[in-house]
Amino acid sequence: MSGKRKLHVGIIVGALCLSARLLLAAQVSSSQAAHPTSRSAGTPTSQSAGAPTSQSPAVTISSPSPVGDTTALAKEAQGWLIDMIRTNTTNPPGSEQSIAKYLAHILEKEGIQSEMLNLSPGRSALVARLKSSAVADPSKALLLVAHMDVVGVDRSKWTVDPFGAVIKDGYLYGRGSIDDKGMLAANLAAFIALKRSNARLNRDVIFLATADEEQGGDASIRMLISKYWDKFAAGYALNEGGEVFMKNGRVQYVAVQASEKVAMNVMVVARGTSGHASRPTKDNAVVHLAAAVEKIGGYSAPTHFTTIVRRYFEQLAAIEPDELGKWMRVLDSEDRGEHAQKVVSEASPLWSSMMRDTVAPTMLSAGVRNNVIPAEARANLNIRLLPGDTVDVLLSALTKLVADPQIKFELQPDAGLAAPPSSLESDFYATISKVAAAQYGNAPVLPFQSTGATDSAQLRLHNVQAYGLVPFPLTEEDYLRVHGDDERLPVASFVKGVDVLARIVAEFAAAK
Ligand SMILES: [Zn+2]
């Protein structure tokens, strides 16, 4: 995303990597409202269905891993994660180079050469490669990508030091513990496990630590691709964006992100005559803006189903409670579809957003003095388009709805780009599905179209089959803390996630 996003940090940044997961969590909370999360802090899970627990961090490995037992490695990786949480990379300014140097040092100790890709002063990405042959074949290569920057904190709301990496009641606390330093540490562990195993590789595996994901500015993956694409060009990628969703001590399902909605902002501008507030006029810009925002707030765009969303609901229907599952099965049917869409949309804002373009008013500004009628009033609309939809169609519907000549819509220059979805038929998607199902107690693996944006869109635009999966089993409560207060990662989930990630990577990249 463009640097324009910086103007709206507080609200719009939340739209990035965060929302895919937050909303996925919200979906389960509302769909199963009668069945609230009952667990209390410190007793995260029971051991059923392969879900790890804080009481028993030792993970049962049910089948031999191609990289062997990862328990000791996960312990090492936990140390890296602690060090990285303690290195404050709040964006802005990011200062990711400090972590890039740290990672380079760890790789060096393993005999792996890495390269610093400089983006701006103090901001660098880091890349390293395990080669499969003397001549690289980028179309086969697997890219492990995670970002080093984090969002800011409101220290007054945290019960522990957000950059202290405190371990308490089976959780590792800290900004970035889930988003995205946990995955960064797990990627590094999987990469190093493969190196230590001395396995013969059938494709190059590339480790990439990126900068500026949370702001999408001048040190982001967009810039990285434009300056250094040949350093990490790959046919496949694993990134954040999907999740292992745990509830009542069990993994309910694994959602693998294969597509995402497209974010953009539109300014609604109302203009009227300015003047003394003691003589109110009918064309007051504030009044016209308020009326427009109210209409827009009630707008619901027509539905349409992408292949991924159709498959998501088909598979979810099998594990949802009877009534909801029944409606999910007929979402796209001619006769009962409309009613089904209403029921499913009302059950969850995520589901509603997965089947239509959405508009959310997020910021308002007007006025200079409390006794002056301003000439102009503005509202920002944060828009999420289904991939393939165009903003013009939506804006013409909104113009008609508002029907006010004093109102104009201005598309902001920070629009994301629509990327083609990653294939659900690729070898890598099959590998992820197979390993995840086996490791998470045969939980269903669903393709997911996230409503939030990730770096994967940029990769997909460069022909990469990119998939999102944060491999740690996490509950709704865990996810609600991401970008919020007291972000924390269950230590047992980290251990499990490291093992699963290492298995996925080895399964896909080690020659049989
Ligand atoms: Zn993230």
- Residue 321's pLDDT is 80
Tell me, in angstroms, the distance from the centre of ligand 1 to residue 336's CA. 38
Tell me, in angstroms, the distance from the centre of ligand 1 to residue 453's CA. 9
Same domain, 218 and 311: no
Query: What does each C-alpha distance from 323 to 123, 267, 317, 318 come to in angstroms?
Result: 51, 40, 10, 11
- Residue 64's pLDDT is 73
- Residue 320's pLDDT is 84
Tell me, in angstroms, the distance from the centre of ligand 1 to residue 210's CA. 10
- Residue 63's pLDDT is 65
Question: Are 171 and 39 within 8 A, CB to CB?
Answer: no
Tell me, in angstroms, the distance from the centre of ligand 1 to residue 212's CA. 10
Tell me, in angstroms, the distance from the centre of ligand 1 to residue 108's CA. 26
Residue where one domain finishes, among candidates 411, 430, 447: 411
Tell me, in angstroms, the distance from the centre of ligand 1 to residue 179's CA. 5
Tell me, in angstroms, the distance from the centre of ligand 1 to residue 17's CA. 4
Tell me, in angstroms, the distance from the centre of ligand 1 to residue 279's CA. 50
Positions of the chain with pLDDT under 50: 1-62
Tell me, in angstroms, the distance from the centre of ligand 1 to residue 180's CA. 5
Same domain, 401 and 428: no
Range of the structural domain that residue 130 is part of: 3-34+50-260+418-509
Same domain, 152 and 135: yes
Same domain, 312 and 373: yes
Tell me, in angstroms, the distance from the centre of ligand 1 to residue 239's CA. 9
Give me the sign of the Cα torsion angle 317, 319, 320, 324. Answer: positive
Same domain, 291 and 248: no
Tell me, in angstroms, the distance from the centre of ligand 1 to residue 142's CA. 20
* Domain contains 382: yes
Per residue in 27-79, pLDDT (tens digit) is: 443 333 333 233 233 333 333 333 344 333 333 444 677 889 999 999 999 99
* Domain contains 438: yes
Per residue in 235-274, pLDDT (tens digit) is: 999 999 999 999 999 999 999 999 999 999 999 999 999 9
Phi-psi region at 48: left, alpha or beta (left = phi > 0; alpha = psi -120 to 50): beta
Please state the pTM of the whole predicted model.
0.85
Same domain, 330 and 251: no
The Cα–Cα gap between 204 and 135 comes to 10
Tell me, in angstroms, the distance from the centre of ligand 1 to residue 301's CA. 28
- Residue 204's pLDDT is 98
Measured over all CA atoms, what is the biggest interatomic distance in the chain, rounded to whole angstroms? Answer: 82
* Domain contains 40: no
The Cα–Cα gap between 237 and 203 comes to 12
The Cα–Cα gap between 44 and 246 comes to 10
* Domain count within the chain: 2
CATH of the domain at 305: 3.30.70.360
Tell me, in angstroms, the distance from the centre of ligand 1 to residue 393's CA. 30
* Domain contains 42: no
Same domain, 69 and 121: yes
Tell me, in angstroms, the distance from the centre of ligand 1 to residue 408's CA. 34
The Cα–Cα gap between 4 and 214 comes to 13
The Cα–Cα gap between 1 and 21 comes to 19
Same domain, 239 and 277: no
Task: Please name the residues in contact with 370: beta carbons below 8 A apart, sequence gap of 6 or more.
Answer: 277
Residue where one domain finishes, among candidates 411, 431, 451: 411
* Domain contains 41: no
- Residue 185's pLDDT is 98
